[in-house]
Amino acid sequence: MIGLVAAAVLPVVVIDGGSVKAPSSLGKKPSQALSAWASAHGESPTAVVPDAPLLASPVSDPKARATRVADVETALRRARTLLDDGDPTKAATARGFAAEAYAEARAHPEDPECPSWLAEALRALARAEALGGDATSAAGLLHRARLLDGGRVLGLSESPNLVVLPKGTPHALRVSVAGKRKLETRVYVDGALTTGPVSIEAGEHHLRVVVAREGELDGALLDARLFSMGEADAVLELRDPIEVVPCSAADVEDALALVAKDQTATFSVLCPRWARVVPRDDGSIAVQRCGPTLCTAATIWVAPEVAQKPIAPPPPTTSLLRSPWTWVAVGVGVVGAASLTAWRLGAFDRKEAPAPTWRWEPTR
């Protein structure tokens, strides 16, 4: 018995002219193209559900992130290699590599490695300053590094001429995520997971908040930033960005502006499966399958053409029918068949001779 598999309902967001629209806004050919794509993939396109939040904070594209990780680690390694020589003439070059790593890490606070990258770049900068004879600047940079990752034991090649400043007075920081959804979250302060108020010193720190235990959204980014802690206890209140951006074409226009401009941009979403459709000038559409954090590469689909049934050509005449020997063979076959029939009917049988009779005649 063959069963029928129902198509899965798939929320679809249409990006047309930089604005967000519903699938019903598509023209005839783009609609036919979307239907062809959905039929081929077993999907049932629908407008996004108004009560299902869609978009949170932007996160890095996986490929771009992999490149960034390699670039930052390479810059830090080059800076350390130059500083390990202890040559003051190489301090400027090492400072350039460390500054490059610092700027790249600071531009992407969403990366989990951000606080450790910043701390290592600051330590390299401190070593460069110490190598150049500026112990005061080196001590300040080393202190900032310790605030970001809690400090670490310096290597043998790192310790000369570095002065470690004493620790300051810690203050309590409490992070609060406001929102109607009451999402469970994981809060990381300076790369360390916190379960309540955290004691930190005054200065610059790193914060990263992700969704916890929400199925496919586990680990999706809610907030990431560098913030300054003052000389007092503080409460950092964050607005749940997912709660204020529903999965509705009418309400996500501003939030999806980046998606409309950059097809490779990725996001944290609460829709585990959705599709992004961009109509093209020729009537075709570019379709991307999307998940909680990224979209696949776009595929182009066109409206299917209604093909006319071609007229079947007459059967070809083979060369066998054109050969005279074919007709000779046919004639012989006909004569043979007729002869066999006549023989079976007795046309070639002889009549039996009459029995002899004896007649006596007297002799004279």
Q: Give domain limits for the chain.
A: 8-54+246-301, 62-149, 171-239
pLDDT at 7: 54
Query: Which residues neighbour 91 within 8 Å (Cβ) at sequence distance 6 or greater?
Result: 82, 83, 128, 131, 132
How far, in Å, are 194, 350, 356, 360 from residue 353 at the CA level?
Answer: 130, 9, 9, 22
pLDDT of residue 274: 76
Q: How far apart are CA 97 and CA 74, in angstroms?
A: 9
Q: Is the pTM of this model over 0.85?
A: no
Q: What is the CATH number of domain 171-239?
A: 2.60.40
Residues linked to residue 274 through DSSP beta bridges, in sequence order: 290
Q: Which residues of the chain have pLDDT under 70?
A: 1-8, 17-20, 47-61, 159-161, 178-183, 214-218, 239-272, 291-294, 306-330, 332, 334-335, 337, 339-364
274 within 8 A of 54, measured Cβ to Cβ: yes
pLDDT of residue 167: 86
Q: How many CB atoms lie within 10 A of CB 97?
A: 23
Q: Are 187 and 205 in contact (CB under 8 A)?
A: no
Q: Kind and range of the H or E element at 144?
A: helix 135-149
Q: Which residues pair with 228 in a beta bridge?
A: 204
Amino acid 179: pLDDT: 58
> What confidence tens digit (pLDDT) does each residue in 207-254 have?
998 877 755 556 777 788 899 988 888 888 776 544 333 444 443 444
